Amino acid sequence: MKKISIMLIIVILLVNINIIVFADDEDEIIDKENIQEVLEASTTPTKELKINSRAAIIYDRTSKTVLWGKEENTKRAMASTTKIMTSIVVLENANLTDTVTISKKAANTGGSRLKINTNDKITVNDLLYGLMLRSGNDAAVALAEYVGGSIEGFADLMNKKAEELNLKNTHFVTPHGLDSDTHYTTAYELALITDYALQNTKFANIVNTKTTTINVNSVPRTITNTNELLGNLDGVNGVKTGFTNNAQRCLVTSTTRNSHQIICVVLGADTKKIRTQDSVKLIEYAFKNYEYINLKEKMISEFNNYSFDDIVINKGIEILPELQMEKLEIEELPINKEEVKNIEVSIEYEKELEAPIVQNQKIGKIEVKLGEKLLYSTNIIIKNEIPKKNILDNIKNMLKHYAYYLENNI
C-alpha cells in the first residue's frame, strides 16, 4: 500500500511538471474587466517607462525604428512566439487547400494542443489557425512534417528564412518553441520577424481572428485565440502568445491606431498578468508620447527655399545644375512629443565641381537631426548631365562674346 502511494505521488508530480514545462496560455483567461483594470494600473509617466519583463521593445512599422527597448538585443528563449516564423515558412511553401494526414509523432506532441489525433485529416489552412489561435504544438509538428519533411528539415527552412531577413541573433530548432539551448531570438529580431510576417495578408488575418471554425475529418470545431489583448484593447490586431519554463511568459502584440502600427514584444515575464500589464504599458506609452512628424514635408520645404547660387561648375557647357533630392524611403517618423521642437533640417553640398557631371551625381545631403542624433538623411543630386567643354565649345563661346561686343559697340 505504501509503495502504491509513493508511485501515485510520483505520477502526480510528473504530470504537474509536464504541465509546467509545456503549458501555454489556454489555461488562463483575462477578460475585458481584467484588461481595464490592467490598463488603469498601467498609466505611465511621459518621461519614464518601467516594466517587469526581462526584455521588451516597441517597434514602429511605419519608420522601421525602435521607439523604446529593454535588453532588446539579448538572446532569449521565445516559446510559442516561434510560431510566427513557422507560419511564414508554411505560407510561403505550401498550398492552403492541401489536406494533411496527422502522424503519430504530431499527435503525441506535448504542451498546448489543437487536440488532433493520429490519421486525422485537416487542411493546411485550418492547421495554421490551430497553430496561431490555439498555439497547437501538434499542429506545428504536422505542418513542419508536411512542408519540411521532418522537424529538422523544417528548422532548416526557418533558419534559411532568418538568414534572408538578415537576423544575426536568431536560431530555430523546432516549429513550436519548446525549450532548447540552441533555440533563441531577441526582442528586436522577433519584432523584425513579426513586421515581415504582417506584410502577408493571410498571416495578418489569421492573427487578428478572435474565434473561428475549422474542420477536422470534415467535422467543424470552434477555436478561440489565446491572445488576451485581442478584442480587449483598442487597436490590437494580433499577434502571438507563448510560455515555457525557460522562456516564461511571452507576448508579441501588433496595434494600429490612426493608421499607424507598432509591434510590442515582451519576453520573460514571470506571470501572465505581468506580461499583459507590461504589454499594455508599452502600447499606451507609444501612442500617448509619440507623434508622427512629416519628414518629407519638412525636407522638401527646406530644399525648395534654399539658395544654391554659390555652386560653380568649372569647364562645364552649362553652369546651372538641376538639383533634386533622392526619393525618401521614410516619409513619417515618430518623435517624442517633448522633443519635436528640437528637430532641425540642415543641408550640406559641394560648392565647386568639375565637369563632366554625370546624371544623378551626388553632390551633398539633407539631414534631419534631433540635437546631435541623426534621424534621417538623403542625398542631393544633379539631375542633368553636364558635359565638359571642348575646343569647339570654347571657340563658340569666344564668337558669342565677340558678337556681343560688336552689337553693343564695346
CA dist 270 and 81 (Å) reads: 16
The CA angle 175-151-153, to the nearest 5 degrees, is: 110
C-alpha cell at 92: 510561403
Q: Among all chains, which residue has been given the C-alpha cell 488562463?
A: 28
Q: Does residue 158 come out as left (phi exceeding 0), alpha (psi in the -120 to 50 range) or beta?
A: alpha
80 included as an active-site residue: yes
3-state helix, strand, coil in the chain (%, to 5): 40, 30, 35
Give residue 131's Cα distance to chain centre: 20
Characterize 373-408 residue by residue with b for buried, 16 or more Cβ atoms within 10 angstroms of its Cβ, and e for exposed: eebbebbbbbeeebeebeeeeeeeeeeeeeeeeeee
Options 70, 83, 161, 281, the catalytic residue: 83
Q: What are phi and psi of 41, to 5 degrees?
A: -80, -5
Task: Identify the DSSP state of 169.
Answer: S
Own/partner long-range contacts of 112-117 (Cβ < 8 Å, ≥24 apart) = 112/22, 112/23, 112/24, 112/25, 112/26, 112/80, 112/136, 112/137, 112/226, 113/137, 113/138, 114/138, 114/139, 114/223, 116/142, 116/216
Catalytic annotation on 301? no
Which residues make Cβ contacts (< 8 Å) with residue 392, sequence separation at least 6?
A: none
Which one from 42, 80, 87, 279 is the annotated catalytic residue? 80
Task: Output the nine-digit C-alpha cell for 177.
Answer: 518553441
Nearest to 244 by CA among 55, 77, 87: 77
β-pair type (260-269, 121-123): unpaired
**Catalytic one of 42, 63, 87, 135:** 135
The answer to whether 231 and 210 have CB atoms below 8 angstroms apart is yes
Measuring CA to CA, which residue among 243, 253, 257 is closest to residue 38?
253
Give the residue numbers annotated as catalytic, written as ranges: 80, 83, 135
